[in-house]
Chain A
């Protein structure tokens, strides 16, 4: 059996690419840039997805939310105690938390309310409360928030603005280390009673109820049970959230993909044009090759090799460029599209998370498509009449 790849033909193809340097460099640059652009968005959205996943891991198994007129509303804290009586429920907590808009710095802060002596459904808070203690009027802030406050000269205390416009002065008590997860970076922790004051909740109100179950397999059946008890409320499981985020980011990258496809097809019209337009010299070369014994298939193979070399090298270069841009340069500009333009997140570094399917997907969108797009121009070249060389 003859060797599968004809290396002489391959080196002819490489030589042929070199001889049309400028055209091919142009094609190569366009392919690598398109691949790099798309690869960067995928790398970034994958990084975001995995951040969310680690975040969601710290979430409670089930969350119960009250609704008024279809909009999330506060819930009675006492429901937490009732749910604790259900079989299979390990822990339940009426949570008081929310985001607070810090006007001067144009930043969102996340306030988390805690009880000193009852365990929370969040492992993050439980860990934190083992190390620190809190009293009324005191806040615990992450180092990120601490820096932010320092910038605005809130060294000892911070003034929250309540809903009636009055100020609530809180003592900055201790600083905890930033969590690795960037979604937790702008957190500050205080007692639930203080948090209620800031968010203007009544004494018996909470934002929602968090429930942990003993056996993960029972999540769905317990969620159904809760739904039956409180049919007008919203029951959200951890898995629901995971799927939701997954879809959100798929959607975002799908949007980019669409742009990419449009540019790619425009690009193919260009190459089609470039490859079909043959100058006299090129026609002559094909004529010579056929006269000295190259079959249509040989010329076609040479052309397909050219396409394969060009697109494969463009693909690899594009991937490498994207790596450098996202993981070494930390994706300037593009990051802003994926993250809210939040000052606290400015120094967020992207963790390496590459998914094979992303690389495979980009491969399929570049290499085979390019090769297929060159079939017809190559075939036209390969079937040129050879007797032209006799003239």
Chain B
């Protein structure tokens, strides 16, 4: 268990999240059950008012959740200084079984909440409110995910044992280890280069073709490809060390916090791309989203390439 001011802060914010998300949940249940656009009853009038409350709560939660996610990662890196053996957030994550699902859930929830906000925006621009039930029903599911996330977060911090020695990222992401990670590191550089740039080239193509499903699907794949190739291959050019594979050290000051930039770009790009597959926007909005997606991903790819090619230009060798 860890009691530090940072962790206490996380608990407090989480408690507030639970409180407000639950208020929104209760209202959503009533809206899903009773909302009727055509009714002129007092109940309908009340639900209509309450729907604003839910939307505002969800929006606020999301806008707090995003920077709070970054804070969380930052704190993981910090706790690593207290944990014997850990050098970065990876050691902390590895020390608790709740941590890996927690990270994935946090990521997933960020996408889902952002999607909800867009859905709400779209719904509020059409007079018949075609998505009203859908959006509140979806929130019921998202609420469960959010609560799971917070539960995992609590149990992670409660279970971290500050006296036992944990592995550092060098061990967790090592070449020689027999783990499934090590198998990825063994793959040739050409594999990652083709996969990463190939995926991006397909994205560009599908943008020209303007097929929203293909574009969204390629974006979804790109999330995985980008993360995998970053850990397995491109990361070593940022660290300038052939054996350093770690998604967390990127976030430390030694590397100018470049990780925050990279992950933000990747999120913004892929979110705008994936969401058009989930929801049918008006033609203009869809075009706009595709464009945003492409711009952010282009920035991501350029930043990665800058490190990758930059290393070669400086040292005239590949790692």
Contacts and interface: CB of A to CB of B under 8 A. Distances in A.
B9 A364 contact: yes
Interface in B44-95: 49, 52-53, 56-57, 60, 64, 67-68, 71, 74-75, 78, 81-82, 84
Contacts of B56: 300, 304, 375, 378-379
Given A239-B84, A357-B74, A254 B3 contact: yes
Contacts, number: 81
Task: Among A258, A368, A369, find the residue whose CB has the most chain B CB atoms closer than 10 A.
Answer: A368
A254 B8 contact: yes
A5 interface: no
A382 B52 contact: yes
Chain A interface main SS type: helix
A42 B5 contact: yes
B80 to A, nearest CB: 12
B82 A243 contact: yes
B4 interface: yes
| Interface of B (DSSP majority class) | helix
A42 B5 CA distance: 9
Contact of A254 (B5, B53, B78): B5
A379 B56 CA distance: 8
Contacts of A360: 71, 74
A253 B4 CA distance: 8
A309 interface: no
B9 A361 contact: yes
Contacts of A379: 52-53, 56
Nearest to A240: B84
B3 A364 contact: no
A105 interface: no
A372 B19 CA distance: 11
Residue with the highest number of chain B CB atoms closer than 10 Å, among A220, A261, A361: A361
Contacts of B82: 243, 246-247
Interface in B79-128: 81-82, 84, 124
A369 B124 CA distance: 27
Interface in B194-210: none
B162 interface: yes
Contacts of B20: 372, 375
Interface in A358-373: 358, 360-361, 364-365, 368-369, 371-372
A364 B16 contact: no
B36 interface: no
A257 B52 contact: no
A29 interface: no
B13 interface: yes
Given A239-B84, A297-B52, A383-B49, A375 B60 contact: yes
A25 interface: no
Contacts of B288: 1
A294 interface: no
Contacts of A382: 52
11 contacts: A247-B82, A254-B3, A261-B8, A296-B49, A297-B124, A364-B13, A364-B64, A364-B68, A364-B71, A375-B56, A375-B57
B13 A369 contact: yes
